[in-house]
Structure formats: structure tokens, C-alpha cells
Structure 1
Amino acid sequence: MTNPLLSTWNTPFEIAPFDLIKDEDFSPAFEAALAEDLAEVEAVATNADAPSFANTIEGLMKTGQALDRVAGAFYTVAGADSNPAREEIMREMSPKLAAHGSAIYGNKQLFARIQAVWDQRDSLDLSDEQQRVLMLTHRNFVRAGAALEGKADARMKEIKSRLAVLGTEFTQNLLADERDWFMPLAEADLEGLPDFAIAAARAAGEEKGQDGPVVTLSRSIIVPFLQFSPRRDLREKAFAAWTARGANGGDTDNRDIAAEILKLREERAQLLGYETFADYKLETEMAKTPDAVRGLLMDVWEPAKAQADKDAEVLTQMMHDDGINADLAPWDWRYYAEKRRKAEHDLDEALLKPYLQLDRMIEAQFACANRLFGLEFAPLKIPLYHEDCRAWEVTRNGEHVAVFIGDYFARGSKRSGAWCSAMRAQAKFPEVQAPVVINVCNFAKSEPALLSYDDARTLFHEFGHALHQMLSNVTYESVSGTSVARDFVELPSQLYEHWLEVPEVLQEFATHAETGEAMPAEMLEKVLGAANFDMGFATVEYVASALVDLAFHEGTAPTDPMAKQAEVLADLGMPAAITMRHATPHFAHVFAGDGYSSGYYSYMWSEVMDADAFAAFEEAGGAFDPEMAKSLEANILSMGGSVDAGELYERFRGRLPGVEALLKGRGLAA
């Protein structure tokens, strides 16, 4: 039988035929696609004609289309609906894909042609986007080691292969720890938990094959438990399991893996002539240098820690008033912070959550996109990889723009967190292709599905990434959508979060799950008034993670990352009752791949811009000002990486921002 992954996809919008694909199809499809891609690349490298932009740079961009299709389908299901067969395929393919990349970037004939085109760039009649694509292609090859020779070249290939294996192991170990642990709850243990948390715990119990409710390590389940359970012993047990992910000893322990990854990254950077991995990684980002990153993070750390220390005193007194004469612990913070929020803002998460229905919040994110950019969303009935997935066709003025897929609920087969990816990116070369974009989240499943305010913000955040993909309007896929500097990529996503806080949006879409009534004006005022509540805690746990990441990569690689982590936190004076948002053994942003390595600061760097960018709307005609929306699309969302990120922001705002808007937005300004 024909392998459906390698056949023509006669499906709506040429989406992967998930109803036909079997796990046993992936490996042979990968093998065939890898071989085809190498042959296509070799044809470019050995072209007898003199090197030109068309036959070399564009020629390279025509290669690998079958591989893109196979990888797009596989990694979608591998991340969001894994199983033992798919995990084995990941382990099998990681070193092969790394070797494949090394073969292309190490192809001396190919790099000689790219270098020749680069050398004559000033005499070529290239568009601005073509000049940018040429620069990025040449730079990517150089940074991948294409200019290395002999032993250095061979060692670089070994390092890349080993890093690919280690990143896969790190991810799968973390997934195993998250999937395997759960804490059964007796009926008496449900005391104090709101209805939505109980419903989520029961649903999780069913998913785990248990007779009763359970707490799992899904953030959407464990965080409400830590917020509401009066059982300090159970909170401590759950928190210990949550923070021990990847550090439980045995086959799924990630600590040695993290140490080896850091050492190999350092060696990789030094082979390319950089002193440290941070120097190598940050060269292509907006920040440029480790000093610039540290400067931003410390500007935020000081006021955030001061606020957190004040908050800790209040929460400690609340705990003592409960008759617990102990130090405030990390498993106490969320519980007493929730009680404080209810007391000071008269805002009860249990009363708020019924107004934040998932379906209504999806409608809200679509409605905002319609008002801002004229996009319309119509449900699609197409085969997808899991029954929980939903799809919509995105149009504007009757013209097809994209397909958008949402996969919103937590399950044991899905890695934690939330993300956006393009199963197919927008491009016009070698032919026009519209994007297929997916948002994956881990919300607790219930009927109806209810979100916390943080969940709703996550929903809008990931949809901001999706808009960056869907509104992309460039020629070449290599600079399409979110193919931008890592510390710029979070700008559209974090900026879109602001529309959740627009009062008229909540007034229309925050309706009660049972009564259908709109959120009362008094509650709406409390929600918006409490937007910065506990921001000292949130900022400290994030910035601590970013500073540890930077410390790992800006000097000699630590042989014991856990000791280095402890040293950094001690030097910072980390509050005892707050932990890093992502401790080393489960810091997937940094160790599952190179994406955010030495770059976890990017969320904060982007937040400096998003706070300033939304202020531009407020200074104009308001959140839905049509001229600002046009400018945002024209200068940022449609441009992808076709122009330097700093220049794009200046086109939109007229200047680069300072940290003041961020501190004001987080309520940390003096």
C-alpha cells in the first residue's frame, strides 16, 4: 500500500491525512524524504552553472518539501499525542535528522556556492527580502560550522548528533515523570476545593483509570490544588512531586543530561570562535550580548524581589494567624496568596472561573482578530490526530488566509506547557502556500471547560503567535511568520494578551456557564484591578529562571548544574518561599532543544516592547484603533523575519522602548 505521508494529500487545504496515517508509516516516510532531500541538495551543490541567487539560494529553498510534510505531521502528534511507538521513532530519528542537517550544512560544494553569491551580493539586483534571505542563509551556514575543516568539522557533526539525542531524552524523561505521577484524593481531601477543581480532578482520575479524583502534574490541575487545598501536608506532597520532575533518580533523571548538554554547547561555540555559548547564541538576537540581557533582568529583579519580600511578610502573618508557626514554604505561597486576593480584592477564583468558559474565550480571541484585522473563522470538519482537536478556516474578505487548529485539553500523552506551531508556513515561493497553524494547550477538561484568568491569558498568548503565522505575507518560507529573533518572537503573543484585559471584551464574552449572564460590572472591575496581584512572586520566579539560564551559558559550563543553580539563587537572595518557575531538571525551554537556551530572558525582552506597543493603541483611539491595527500588521505581523527586528519595531513605534512601561504594567514601578 502507498504510504499516505508520501502520497499527494487530497484533503481539504492539503492537511495531513491523519485518519490514514499509522505509526508504522513514519519511519519509512522519513527515510524516503531524507534521501530525496539529500539528492535535491546535491543537485544544487553540483549545478554546473555559475552560482546565482536563483540557482543556489532559491534552489536550496525548493528542496526538502517532502521532508517538511513528514516532519510537520510527525512532530505535531509526537508532542501533543505521544505513545511508546512515537517515542521510539523520536529516539530513532533524532540522530538521523541531526546527521542529515550536518550533511547539508557541511556540504563544502554547497557552501562554496553560497559564499560566491554572498561575495557578489552588492552587484546583484536583489529585493530587500532577497538580500535579507541571502544574509541569513550565509550566516546560518557559517554558524552551523560550514567553514570548519578537518577534525573541527568532524567534531561539530558529533556534537550536533549527541545534542539531538540528549534533547529527545530530556523531553521524554520529563513527559514520563509527568505522566506517571498522580496523587489519589479521598472524598475528605476535596475539602476547600471549588467545584471546577473537583471536576478537573475527577476527569483526571478517569483519564488515569482511577475510581476517584486525582491530582496530576498538569499545571491546570496542580496550581488550583495548591491555591485552594487547606491540607498543607497534601500541598507539600504535590509540590514536591511537581518540582522533582526530571530529578527523581533512575532512568528518567535529567541532571546528568543537562550537564552534558551544557558542556557540548560550550564546545560547539568555541569551535566556531566564540568564548561562550551565550556569546554565540545572543549574537543574532536583539539583545546581542550577555551584559545587555543581565542588565534588563537585574533592572526588573530588584523591584520584583522587594515586592515579593513585602508580600512574604503578609502571607507569613496569615499563616501564623491560622495557627501554623512555621516559615512560609513554597507550597504555602499560592494558598495564602489566593486567600489574600479574596480578602483584599474580594475576588474569588471559584466565583470568577464560571465566567471564563473556554468556548467563549475562543470566541473572544476570534472577535478581537476580526475587529483588528478583518479575519473571520468558520468551523471545519476535517480528520485530525485527536478527538479533542478543533479546526477553523480563516478568511478575510472571502479569501482563504489559513487553517487554524486548536488542541486545548491536558492528557497523559501530551507534553506540558502551551505552544504554537505551523504544520505549514506561509510562503509565495516556489509556489503560494497558505499556513496551517496549531495552538496546543493543557487546560483541565470538564463540561463545560472553565479557565482560570491565567489560562485565558495563555489562550490569548498562543493565539498571538498564531496571528503572527496567519498574517505573514512574505515570499520565502525561511523568513515567514515566527521565523524571527528569539527575543522578538514573543512580542505578538504577549501583546495580544492585552486584549483580554479590554473591558468591553470581557463584558461581551465573559458570560456565566450556567446562567449565561455577563460578568457583573463589580466583578469585572475587581478582575482588572487585581491584574497585577502577586506580581512580585510571578516576576521573581520567572527572572530567577532566566538568570540561571544565562549563568549556565555565559561562562565555563558547570559540571554540576544543580550546584550552579543553587549558587546563582543564593547570590540573588532568592526568597525562600519562591522557587524558579522552571528548575534545571524540567527546564524544557532550555534543555529540550536550543530554542530558548541562553534565551529564556526573551519573554521579558519582548514584554518591554509589548507594554510599549499596547500603549501606542491607548494613546491613539483605543484598543481597536484601526490605524494602529493596520500599522501593527503592516510593520510587524506580516513581515516575519524579512527585516531586522529592531527596525520593524521602530517602524511601528518610531523608537525602541525602555523598561519603564514594563515595570508600570507589572505594578512594580517606584
Structure 2
Amino acid sequence: MSTNPVLVQSNLPHDLPDFASISDDDFLPAFEEAMSAHLAEIDEIASNTDEPTFVNTIEALEGSGRALARAAGIFFNLVGPDTNPTRNEISQKLATSLSEHSTAIALNAALFARIDALHSQRESLGLDEPQKRLLEKRYRDAVRSGAALDEQGKDTMRAIAGRLAVLETTFSQRVLDDSNASAVFVDSADKLDGMSRSAIDAARRAAADAGHDSGYSVALELPTSQSALTVLTDADTRAAVFEASVARCGRGNEFDTSEIVREIVSLRARRAELLGYSSHAEFVLADQTAPSVGAVRELLGDLTRAAMRAGTAELARIEKFAGEQIGAADYTYWLERERAESATVDLAPFADYCELDTVLTDGVFYAAGQLYGLRFVERDDLHGYHPDVRVFEVFDEDDTSIGLYLGDYFARPSKRGGAWMNNIVDQSSMLSQTPIVVNVLNIPKPDEGQPALLTFDQITTLFHEFGHTLHGLLSDVRYESQSGTSVPRDFVEFPSQVNEMWALDPDVLAHYARHHETGEPIPDALAAAARASVGTETAHGTIEYLGAALLDLAWHEVSSAQAEAVGDLDEFERSALEAAGIADDLIPPRYKTRYFNHIFGGGYSAGYYGYIWSEVLDAETEQWFTAHGGLLRENGRVFADSTLSRGDSVDPVAAHEKMVGHPRDVMPLLRRRGLASDSAGTDAPDSSE
């Protein structure tokens, strides 16, 4: 029984950590204690003199390392949304120690011998599907970590894993530091004309927090294309924001990531080659739902050709509308102006009907209640890791408490950009664990007493991330490693993209869209115009996404020798985009190499294509929901039973195909994006994580 507050059971509902009792000084000792205990458990399993069985080996492994899982669930949930210099330093130390720890387990020869023996007789063990999948995953993960290599190969794998852990952590920290340092300062509110009152107030507070006696500071978001560019009327301010965005982590910058990228790419390629793969991309896709790199490139290539044709027409139309030649900083501004001009109803007042709390409780939670029978009760007596974090207890339709949901919605300098879902605790019936799920967004925080009014994109992001939350909350599996979002990376975005369809659903919108001052419901004409507006997406959005996905593949299809020979990163990027037929000076990739945190600091390496790959299933599922009556409890029950509750305990694609009644079909996606012969227009993928 540990006395470290990180590891002590909290006695709070669903074992919510008592964050107030934990200091940063507690983390390293907690991890050291937890790793030591875990290795002792592993040694006991590996040295068991009994013949290996599924229970004494695979299930024993599944039940080991509980203290380490608790420490990791708490600490790594803090580093993303609320870091500080001490936590950054701890992250660097843990990058090495945790890599060494996991590698030591993966390369434990006695343990692998037991797993290998079970795997060789897997068809005769009488296992059910979740057990078969768990055994297969344990074996595959060990082999992919180098367990089947000779001792020299194992030593090389250890060194690569440790170095990559440090590099990826450093990359992520540099991107956050440079995004904060590159905020654009202006001396007058006039230069922010077009931004909402709350966004201007946030810029004023940011300038004050940065030590300025006056003026305004426009914080940068993670993607290249900044949302501020769609509204800023001052061309010079737009240019300054755009240039700050694309210059992040560049040459000569103290946060330059060039050498980190080169080394990461080289090490990943070297690891793949040791394991018999031609590239890191091939290594990654061997563990995904996509059948091959070629199949992914074929889909991306088809979409690219259609999107570039649409982009040519879109640019001509926008420049005609603007009456001038436009630059990269102006593209989305004029797209938004054209959209507003062509709307039959002025869409500017829409945000006045979309205050965060009502969108959350009467929109997001309402849809979850209608579909899945869930009820959310805010617990003011429970506290998160930051004062802005709200805690909700979640009940099913039998009034059983099934978990906790933590919402962390407002931007702050200690939070990395973007939006995401994280689990502090994963569901597992074997371990008697119920889920604790966190959603993190970066909505500008309004002044005290002022409403947080949401844009179209922010509402979509809120629903998107909550789709991940539903995947975690509704999980009903035996084994923790198969819980919720523990599915292949190119499937994980599917449930979250499906949940976006309810953001502007007529029933859901009517339930939450009320004027923040008067309480009046949104006018029918404005609601209809909003739905029509978001249904007409842009070639710009599709091209910037495809550029990033293709750039990701380009970096991860090189050999280790080619990676070591890469000179200028910008030149490699230009050449890769030109080769893919998507180079466009007006539309840079959603993430340029130097700040592409998804692939160099996160878990999406050679996997950023997964958003569009998942969207094939999402488009089919939206079509299925619509055909079966939409927002109905029975539809939610079917989707939960087939997908949300199953995690990785079943083949997720096979379960989807069984639900919709046919094999995976790309046509609904092509129609949605206006790329089929019987449709027009182009849609763009969601930018949320």
C-alpha cells in the first residue's frame, strides 16, 4: 500500500484522483515506485514454472501495472492541458525511464516465450473473440517491439525507443513554447476589427498576462490556417498572423525542430527496417484497418485530383468576388465574406444563440440522452486538475452511475493547441474500473460575467470530441487494453466524426439554440441558413487536410539512408507536395513539417490519413442514421452495441459492416464531399484531434 498521493486510492466517485492532494514533486517518486512494482509483477509472470495458460500469462499481464497506469493517467492528462516548466522537465525524464521500462517488458525473453507458446496454439485454446484478439495483440506488440530479434537487434531497438521518446517529447514542448512566443501583438483594437467582442477581450487579457501595459495579443492555434484569418478585416493583421503561424519552429528560431524531425524520421525508418518493413509507413499500417500504404495513397490520390480541380474553380470564384488577387493570408477571409454575402439570411447573429453552457447541456448532453439514454449531473463538490475544469457524473437510463466526464473548454498558455479526449481511467469489467473521461478544447475565455459564444467550428469540435467521450463512457469490455478508443488509429476518429452530425440536427439545434440575453429560440430562417452554410464546404479545407496527410506519408515512406540525406526540410516538403500533385502556395498543409505535432509529437505518425479513412465509415453511418429515422433511442442502441461499447474486443470494421448491412463503401463519402459524378461542391474533414 503506497503512501504517495499519486498512487493512493482517492475514495472519490469512480476513483477520481484527489488533484488537490498531489504536488508535482510527487510524480517522479510515484513513477519510480510504480515501475518497480510492475517489473516485480512481470518477473512473477515470466518466471512462473507452470505451463503458460491464457489466465496465468495473458490475463495476468492485463492485470499488472495498475499503479503505473494510475500515475500515467494522472500525469499525462496534466501535461497536455496544464503544463509548466516542472512538468516539462518531468516529462523529459519520464520519456527515457518509461521507454526503458516498456522495452524491458517487451524484450523479456522468458515472458515472450510464454506468449509465443500460447500464440502458436491459439486455435486450440478455446478462446472467445476478445481473448483471441488480446492474445494476438500481445504477441504482435512484442514482435513489433523486437522480441523476436537477436540480442544485437534488441539492443538497437532499446536505443531507438529511448531516443525517440525523448525527441518526441521535446518536439511537442517546442511547438507549444513557440506557439505561445509567436502570439501576434497589435497596439490597437482597430487592427482586430471583425473579431468577436469575447475574442478581443481575450486578446487584451493575453497581452496583459504577457507584461504589456496596453495592446492586444492574438494567440496562435495549432493548425497553419488560423480561425482569426476568416474574420480580421485588416489585411496587415491577417498577414502578420499568417506569417507567425507558418514561421513556427523554423530555421534560426530558438525552438527550431529541424534536427529533431530528421532524427525522428531516420530512427523510425531504421526501426522498421530492423523488423523487416520497407518503411515506417508500412510498419504502422500493418497494425491498422487500411490494408496497405498503396490503398491509402490510392484514396488520397483520387481525392487530391478532384479537390485540386475544385480548388482551381474556387480560387477563380473567390478572386472575382474579392476584385483582386488574393494571398494565402486572405484566402479564408474572402471565402467567409463570399459565404456571408451569398447567404439569404445574415449569419452573423448565429453565435448569439450558441452560448457554451446551453450548447453543452441542451445540445451535446441532450443528443447523448436521446440516443444512448445518458444523463449528466454536474458535481460542484468534485474538482478537476484546474479551476476551469468542470466535473459531471454520468448515469445510464437505469440510473446507474457509469463514470465521470471532465470538461476543460477554455484556452490558456499552459495548454497545448487543438482539442482532444483523454482517459484518466479506462473501463474494464475484469478490473472493476469505470471510466473517467476528459474533453479538452481551446475556446477563448470570456471576461467574468460575459458569455462564451461559440462559432460553427467550435460547436462542431465540441460535438466531435464528445464522440470520443461516448466511445470511452459507453465501453463495456472485459479487458482494459480493449476499452473505448483503444482501437486502430485509423478507426478511432470514426465515432467522433459520427457525433458531429448532431451539431446542427434540427431537433438538437432547436433544443439548445437560444439567445444568450433574451432566451428566445433561434429563428427558423437563421437555423436553416446555418445548416445550409455548413453543408457547403470548401476546396481549401480539403486541400490543406490532404496536403498534411500526404506530407505525413512522404516523411514516413523514406528509408533510414534517405532520411539521413535530407537537407532542407522546406525543400523536402515542397518536393513531396509537388510529387503528390497538391503543392499550392495559397493553401499550405494544415500542419507544416516543423510544427506537425500530430506526427512528430503525438501518435499519428504515418496515420494522419486516418481522419479521411474513418470518414468513409462515418459517411455510411450518417446515411444509416438518416435512413432509420435519425435521433432515436433504438438507433443509438444499435450503434452503441455494435461499435461504441465494443472497443477493440471485436474487429471494428467487421462490426460496422454488420451494422450497415454491406461492405465498406466509399460512395457516401464522395457524395458528401461533392466528388461523385452526381454531386457538386467539396467538403472538408474536421480539424479536431
* TM-score of the pair, normalised by structure 1: 0.96
Is 1:582 the equivalent of 2:576? no
Distance 1:392 1:53 in 2: 37
Q: Which residue of 2 aligns with 1:155?
A: 156
Q: Which residue of 1 aligns with 2:686?
A: none
Shift of 1:291: 0.6
1:606 maps to a residue whose letter is S
2:662 maps to a residue whose letter is R
Is 1:226 the equivalent of 2:234? no
Contact 1:472 1:481 in 2 (8 A): yes
Distance 1:220 1:479 in 2: 31
* Residues 1:219 and 1:532: Cα distance change in structure 2 (over 3 Å): farther
Distance 1:347 1:588 in 2: 39
2:60 maps to a residue whose letter is G
1:167-206 mapped onto 2 (5 Å cutoff): 167-185=168-186, 186-206=188-208
603, 606, 609: which one aligns with 1:601? 609
Is 1:354 the equivalent of 2:363? no
Shift of 1:151: 1.1
Distance 1:222 1:641 in 2: 34
Distance 2:645 2:308 in 1: 38
Structure 1 alignment gaps of length 5 or more? none
Is 1:591 the equivalent of 2:617? no
1:304-319 mapped onto 2 (5 Å cutoff): 304-319=307-322
Contact 1:389 1:405 in 2 (8 A): yes
Structure 2 alignment gaps of length 5 or more? 678-689
Distance 1:295 1:435 in 2: 38
Shift of 1:13: 2.2
Tell me whether 87-96 or 353-362 shows the greater mean CA deviation: 353-362
1:541-560 mapped onto 2 (5 Å cutoff): 541-556=544-559, 557-558=562-563, 559-560=566-567
* Residues 1:53 and 1:192: Cα distance change in structure 2 (over 3 Å): closer
Q: Which residue of 2 aligns with 1:436?
A: 436
Tell me whether 198-207 or 63-72 shows the greater mean CA deviation: 198-207
Q: Which residue of 1 aligns with 2:404?
A: 403
Contact 1:349 1:452 in 2 (8 A): no
Q: 3-state SS of the aligned residue for 2:226? A: helix
Tell me whether 2-11 or 168-177 shows the greater mean CA deviation: 2-11
Distance 2:623 2:56 in 1: 46
Shift of 1:286: 1.2
* Residues 1:146 and 1:550: Cα distance change in structure 2 (over 3 Å): same
Deviations, residues 174-217 of structure 1 (Å, cap 9, x unaligned)? 01001222222313323343434323323433443433322111
Shift of 1:50: 1.1
1:142-541 mapped onto 2 (5 Å cutoff): 142-185=143-186, 186-210=188-212, 211-218=214-221, 223-247=226-250, 249-319=252-322, 321=323, 327-346=325-344, 350-363=348-361, 364-381=363-380, 382-396=382-396, 397-429=398-430, 431-446=431-446, 447-541=450-544
635, 640, 643: which one aligns with 2:647? 640
Distance 2:513 2:411 in 1: 22
Tell me whether 225-234 or 158-167 shows the greater mean CA deviation: 225-234
Is 1:19 the equivalent of 2:20? yes
Deviations, residues 532-576 of structure 1 (Å, cap 9, x unaligned)? 334211111001110111111123354244322111222314333
2:657 maps to a residue whose letter is E
Distance 2:306 2:219 in 1: 34
Shift of 1:330: 1.1
Contact 1:616 1:628 in 2 (8 A): no
Distance 2:627 2:462 in 1: 26
2:204 maps to a residue whose letter is R
Q: Which residue of 2 aligns with 1:660?
A: 667
Distance 1:224 1:280 in 2: 35
Percent identical pairs in the alignment equals 39
Distance 1:498 1:248 in 2: 41
Contact 1:78 1:86 in 2 (8 A): yes
1:554-573 mapped onto 2 (5 Å cutoff): 554-556=557-559, 557-558=562-563, 559-560=566-567, 561-571=569-579, 572-573=581-582
Distance 1:650 1:187 in 2: 53
Shift of 1:294: 0.7
Shift of 1:349: 5.4
1:6-155 mapped onto 2 (5 Å cutoff): 6-155=7-156
Shift of 1:128: 1.7
Distance 1:271 1:224 in 2: 43
Distance 1:426 1:261 in 2: 33
Shift of 1:252: 1.2
Contact 1:341 1:348 in 2 (8 A): no
Shift of 1:219: 6.0
Distance 1:492 1:449 in 2: 26
Deviations, residues 309-340 of structure 1 (Å, cap 9, x unaligned)? 11111222233x3xx5xx42110011111110
Shift of 1:669: 3.2
Distance 1:441 1:545 in 2: 21
Deviations, residues 559-616 of structure 1 (Å, cap 9, x unaligned)? 24432211122231433311110111111110004x2111100000111110110111
Contact 1:221 1:444 in 2 (8 A): no
* Residues 1:40 and 1:153: Cα distance change in structure 2 (over 3 Å): same
* Residues 1:200 and 1:664: Cα distance change in structure 2 (over 3 Å): farther
Tell me whether 440-449 or 183-192 shows the greater mean CA deviation: 183-192
1:433 maps to a residue whose letter is Q
Distance 1:200 1:659 in 2: 42
Distance 2:224 2:549 in 1: 25
Tell me whether 342-351 or 486-495 shows the greater mean CA deviation: 342-351
Q: 3-state SS of the aligned residue for 2:590? A: coil
Distance 1:34 1:107 in 2: 15
Distance 2:674 2:461 in 1: 20
Shift of 1:419: 0.6
Q: 3-state SS of the aligned residue for 2:20? A: coil
Shift of 1:351: 2.0
CA RMSD of superposed structures (Å): 1.8
Tell me whether 308-317 or 372-381 shows the greater mean CA deviation: 308-317
Distance 1:570 1:70 in 2: 45
Contact 1:532 1:667 in 2 (8 A): no
2:420 maps to a residue whose letter is W
* Residues 1:348 and 1:252: Cα distance change in structure 2 (over 3 Å): farther
Distance 1:148 1:448 in 2: 59
Distance 1:258 1:311 in 2: 34
Distance 2:432 2:65 in 1: 16
Q: 3-state SS of the aligned residue for 2:621? A: helix
* TM-score of the pair, normalised by structure 2: 0.93
1:31 maps to a residue whose letter is E
Deviations, residues 495-526 of structure 1 (Å, cap 9, x unaligned)? 00001121121112111222221111111111
* Residues 1:201 and 1:248: Cα distance change in structure 2 (over 3 Å): farther
1:613 maps to a residue whose letter is T
